[in-house]
Amino acid sequence: MPSRDTKFALPGMIVGLTGGIGSGKSEVSCRFENLGIQVIDADVVAREVVAPESVGLAAISEHFGKDILNADKTLNRSKLRALIFENLEEKSWLENLLHPIIRTEIISQLQQSKSTYTILSSPLLLDTTQYELVDCVLVVDASEELQIARASARDSNTSGQIEKIMSTQMSRADRCAKADDIIVNNGDLDTLDKQVKDLHISYLNLAKQLNTSTTS
């Protein structure tokens, strides 16, 4: 279990949810939300911090030029992906800009959570210092074949493009080795529902224990 950084005064227990592309993190997140648990989604936060008139978008536009914007002044994500995907220097520049902004906003949203425990869903949980914000790590795992099939259907990308993205992510073995809990999401929704419900009960008990130990 991670040693959560206590300097941010985060409330209650926080579960870090992560997994590779196409693993089914969103399916799992929705099920926790349906059980009344608040989910802070780092992907949503990442879009919020580059919204029109944001500091993040202004910096990106200044660095890459106005052509990085759509006609409605929103970020052209596909153009940005193309610019950074094979250019490590530009990718590093973008990460150095956005990761601290995203982290600050995630902390702000976690601090406002009123949930018994809170889920922080992030594909980069274990690749960045975001893991310092959580009490335990839940990995959603699926076979690589399923990951490619799901992500290709969802994002209209070729299997080759998905494989390239997967090659830049932490390996399944390394990700699972860092997990406190693992949900196997190989397509059986009834099994997925049961895994989430079982973990929900476990997390409610852990949150109660954590709350008791911090108040005693």
Domain boundaries, the chain: 6-211
Res 66 pLDDT > 90: yes
Strand stretches in the chain, DSSP E: 13-19, 38-41, 117-121, 136-141, 181-184
CA dihedral over 127, 130, 133, 139, signed as positive or negative: negative
Token digits of residue 35: 């059980």
pLDDT-derived band at 203 (thresholds 50, 70, 90) equals very high
Q: What is the pLDDT of residue 176?
A: 95
Residue 45 and residue 24 in contact, taking contact as beta carbons nearer than 8 Å? no
Lowest-confidence range among 38-47, 56-65, 85-94, 164-173? Answer: 164-173
Token digits of residue 178: 């860092």
Nearest to 121 by CA among 28, 2, 183: 28
Beta-bridge mates of residue 159: none
Provide the pairing of β-strand 117-121 with 13-19: parallel
Q: Please state the pTM of the whole predicted model.
A: 0.87
Res 5 pLDDT > 70: no
**Helical axes 77-85 vs 88-111, angle rounded to 10°:** 130
Kindly report the length of the chain. 216
Res 124 pLDDT > 70: yes
pLDDT in tens, 69-120: 999 999 999 899 889 877 989 999 999 999 999 999 999 999 999 999 999 9
**CATH, domain 6-211, list 3.40.50.2300, 3.40.640.10, 3.30.1540.10, 3.40.50.300:** 3.40.50.300
Q: What is the pLDDT of residue 1?
A: 46
CB atoms within 10 A of CB 115: 19
Beta-bridge mates of residue 39: 119
Mean pLDDT of the chain: 90
| Three-class secondary structure of residue 92 per DSSP | helix
